Amino acid sequence: MQENYQKQLIKYAGFLEEANQRSGWFSAGRLLSLLAVVAGIYIFFSLGNIYGIWAAILFLTFFLVLIVRHTNLKKQKQRYNRLISLNQKEVKFLEGEVVDWENGERFRDAQHLYSSDLDIFGSHSLFYHINRAATRSGEERLAQTLSAPGPSQSIGPRQEAIKELVPLLDWRQNFIAAGLEEEEDPQLQNKLKLWLKGSKPSAARVLLHPATRFILAIIAIGLGLHFVFYPNPQHFEWWMYGMGLNIALVFSQFRHIKKEYNQLNGITRSLRIYAELIASVERQAFGAAYLQNIAGQLSTRGQTASKALYRLGRILDGFDQMNNVVALILTNGLYLYHLHVLNELYRWKKEHGGQIIQWLSAVTEMDELVSLSNYAANNPDFTYPEVADAPKLEAEGIAHPLIAPQKRVANSLSTDGYKYMILTGSNMSGKSTFLKTIGINLVLMRAGAPVCSLRFKSYPFTLLTSMKLVDSLEREESYFQAEVLRLKRIKQELEGEAVKMVLLDEILRGTNSDDKRNGTRLFMQKIGSFEARGIIATHDIDIADLAKQEPGIFKDYYFESQVKDGELTFDYLLREGICTTPNATELMRSHGVI
């Protein structure tokens, strides 16, 4: 995949160089056109040649066209620069460097049932590896999927959608680059929802009627023209009366204008982002039903959803003249400008107000899928899991997806014939990493993404974990109390209908050995009665005896450590049975502590 990004870099660098050359020609053309305009004006006034003014008008028109074209070219150059930056970051990321992707730190929740234990958010997290969202809302949607997955029935359709997006590298990157053009207003949807609740005031309906605005504008403009052609103080007075009447009528609705302006102030740039993203979706034909459903949510009457959003942005731009006193008086005095803007806004709300939130939601869902498909493309050796009908998990060659490929150690397991794996092993032997391996791959499965495994078939379990709790000064909880409360919550969750996957790492560490052993044994026997699956990692060999007492519920596996030439080594390979090689003494000896 790194080679693909290198090719993208070369391609967009070439496009940028070509655009820079064209930009130079545009600059030269604008200068020459402006000089021709000046020359035409000079010829007309100094020589009295009528062709001079026509030439000036012609070249002025050409000059204005060049400005528009040059502005569009500048935007294209900015897009190429964003695409170059995007590919540079991808190359660095795949080389193992840290880049400034959003890592989802703001979504961290120590009380969540699994996200904190499994490093879903934060530095070097799963979110950091996946997230390429073009919008803030897309990030929130991805965070929700990773921490609160949707129904299991959506796994298959989402897989098909992600598979279709993986080869669309150009489309995906242009989608992402479009969102990076501006920073999304974090209150965008809240502002729109509040605005949509409002209604058109009854007093404004007569003033906003097209006939009313047309007649009043004709009167003001007509009086102005009359004064221009027949200037005298009385005609000027009539014109001022007409202007004053129009201004008074506009200002009679000023509180409504101000209300609309305040509710939607600052969202124009965000609307342009979404319009660009929607246009990207509209231009692409999709085959997967899941993607077609998203695209179908962008339908509207009369025009495309992207054009409708562009139009809303232009309407909101019209309110900006309220900050210019001269323009405010002239435009409203002559043709009631802000009544026209207000009317257009009410009309837009009537035509599209019921759909805009749906459009934004569709874009954020596509944004999330683009991130997941980028993750799939970055990991072409990952496989798409199968969904099992019965509560079980089978994996061949499964490894931790956040560990560098050259350092990963893969294992295989199957939960057939038992409910809970009792995992023993010495310190640093890989127990915690193995628990996270299972958990994170299950999170990826529920998201519809490929997993780090040669083959993976699992029931869509709901995850419950207790692995790295911390005490809480805010809640005045000790570590032990926090863990007991966590285990209580796990038990309560197991009493629900959904089948769970329980991952526990060395529970009840905050008490003495006998108490810990007895408490762990009793808790395991308690959760063994529920229809669930799980892995319990422990240092206590005595607890592993449960597999002999209840072989249909528990089964023993372990990780091993060895001492070679005075050095402690680990192979991180899962073995059936119980670990009998504690390593605390050897670990201290290898570090010269004892």
247 HSE (CA, 13 A, CB side): 15
User: What are the tokens at 289?
Assistant: 């039903």
For residues 264-274, average pLDDT: 86
pLDDT-wise least confident of 79-88, 152-161, 500-509: 500-509
140 — pLDDT class (breaks 50, 70, 90): very high
Distance CA 454, CA 525 (A): 33
For residues 434-450, average pLDDT: 95
**386-590, which class in CATH?**
alpha beta
Q: Is the pLDDT of residue 143 over 50?
A: yes
Contact criterion met (CB below 8 Å) for 480 and 511? yes
Q: Which amino acid is at 79?
A: R
469 — pLDDT class (breaks 50, 70, 90): low
235 — pLDDT class (breaks 50, 70, 90): very low
Q: Is the pLDDT of residue 501 over 60?
A: yes
Distance CA 37, CA 404 (A): 63
Judged by phi (left if over 0) then psi (alpha if -120 to 50, else beta), residue 124 lies in: left
Residues written for the chain:
594
Q: Is the pLDDT of residue 196 over 60?
A: yes
Q: Is the pLDDT of residue 327 over 60?
A: no
Q: Is the pLDDT of residue 223 over 80?
A: no
If you search the block for the tokens 């010269």, which residue do you land on? 592
Contact criterion met (CB below 8 Å) for 518 and 539? no
Distance of CA 589 to the CA centre of its chain: 49
Work out the percent of the chain whose per-residue pLDDT is above 90. Answer: 33
Three-class SS state of 576: strand
Q: Is the pLDDT of residue 56 over 60?
A: yes
Q: To which H or E segment does residue 210 belong?
A: helix 210-229
Q: What is the pTM of this model?
A: 0.84
Q: Which of 423, 443, 426 is nearest to 435 (CA)?
A: 423
Average pLDDT for the chain = 82
Higher pLDDT, 181 or 464: 464
Higher pLDDT, 276 or 259: 276
465 strand-pairing partners: 503
User: What are the tokens at 362?
Assistant: 């569709």
Distance of CA 151 to the CA centre of its chain: 20
Domain ranges across the chain:
2-94, 188-366, 386-590
CA dihedral 51, 52, 53, 54 (to 10 degrees): 50
328 — pLDDT class (breaks 50, 70, 90): low
226 — pLDDT class (breaks 50, 70, 90): very low
Distance CA 109, CA 455 (A): 31
Which pLDDT score, from 0 to 100, does residue 219 have?
54
Higher pLDDT, 256 or 437: 437
Which pLDDT score, from 0 to 100, does residue 448 have?
95
pLDDT-wise least confident of 346-350, 359-363, 582-586: 582-586
119 — pLDDT class (breaks 50, 70, 90): very high
133 — pLDDT class (breaks 50, 70, 90): very high
- Tens of pLDDT, residues 64-80: 888 888 888 888 888 88
Pairing of strands 411-414, 420-425: unpaired
Please give, one letter per residue, the 3-state secondary structure of 348-400. Answer: HHHHHCCCHHHHHHHHHHHHHHHHHHHHHHHCCCCECCEECCCCCEEEEEECC
For residues 415-435, average pLDDT: 87
Q: Which amino acid is at 462?
A: T
Which pLDDT score, from 0 to 100, does residue 221 have?
53
CA distances to 177, 277, 420, 503, 574 from 538, in Å = 47, 49, 13, 11, 14
Judged by phi (left if over 0) then psi (alpha if -120 to 50, else beta), residue 571 lies in: alpha
Which pLDDT score, from 0 to 100, does residue 479 have?
64
Q: Is the pLDDT of residue 24 over 60?
A: yes
Report phi then psi at 568, rounded to 5: -85, 125
Which pLDDT score, from 0 to 100, does residue 206 have?
42
Q: Which amino acid is at 450?
A: P
Q: Is the dihedral of CA 191, 194, 199, 203 positive or negative?
A: negative
